[in-house]
Amino acid sequence: MAKWADVNILQLLNGKLSPTAERVTWIVEACQRVIRLDQDMKLPPGLGQDKKALDAEIGEIMEELYARVSKFRCAPLVLYCGEPDQCFDVQYRFVVTKETASEGGAVAWLVEHIDTAHRIRRCHRLQCRKWFFAITDRQKYCTDHCRKTDAQQGPEFRKRRAEYMRERYRPTQKERDAKIDAQAMIGTAKPKRKSRRQGNAKS
């Protein structure tokens, strides 16, 4: 699935910025938004957002999604399959012009696999943001390199580092500074003058 996603849609999304890529990106993100809203709709009563508001938002997105997808004319493609339990394979392809071939192919693949739209993601590392097809639900990064780099340099690492500095290092540093200040006070303190009585007693 990841291989075909790359061929049919990811190469377009990761290519040059263009109106075509923007339109396909909108469709991908709209599908993902509907999936998230649908999950909220299925929460028990009292949890999540108001069901009417969720339903209204889903309706607006689906109306726009239909308007964008319906501009493509779909035609059946009948192929010989030759599988042990199957003779024919019927696929539905968008009829597109040469100028819209990449867009039509991407949208056709997405519509055919629309339940997996939530797996088409952007890399979590801010310096990358490459589109990829997630193999698992928890996958956030396009490669192990991005995952490891973000773990060492990303916002979450910096946040943890700041907390560590605040909780461990800085109190220790305050104690050190206090000791240094105390030692400085002792070093600069003037020696007490001997009283006349003490001087006469010794003589």
Summarize the confidence of residues 118-134 as an average pLDDT: 94
Dihedral of CA atoms 176, 182, 183, 187 in degrees, nearest 10, equals 160
pLDDT on residue 23? 94
pTM, two decimal places: 0.68
The residue written with tokens 């939530």 in the block is: 118
| pLDDT of 190 over the 60 cut | no
Following DSSP, what letter does each residue of 102-130 receive, concatenated? HHHHHHHHHHHTGGGGGGEEE-SSTTT--
In a domain? residue 146: no
Pair 67, 31 in one domain: yes
Pair 72, 97 in one domain: yes
Pair 84, 168 in one domain: no
Pair 127, 28 in one domain: yes
Select from 14, 15, 23 the least CA-distant residue to 103.
23
Pair 96, 164 in one domain: no
Burial class (CB in 10 A: 0-12, 13-18, 19+), 67: exposed
Pair 22, 66 in one domain: yes
Summarize the confidence of residues 114-118 as an average pLDDT: 92
Summarize the confidence of residues 176-203 as an average pLDDT: 62
In a domain? residue 181: yes
Pair 60, 102 in one domain: yes
Domain that holds residue 170: 154-187
3-state class (DSSP) for residue 47: coil
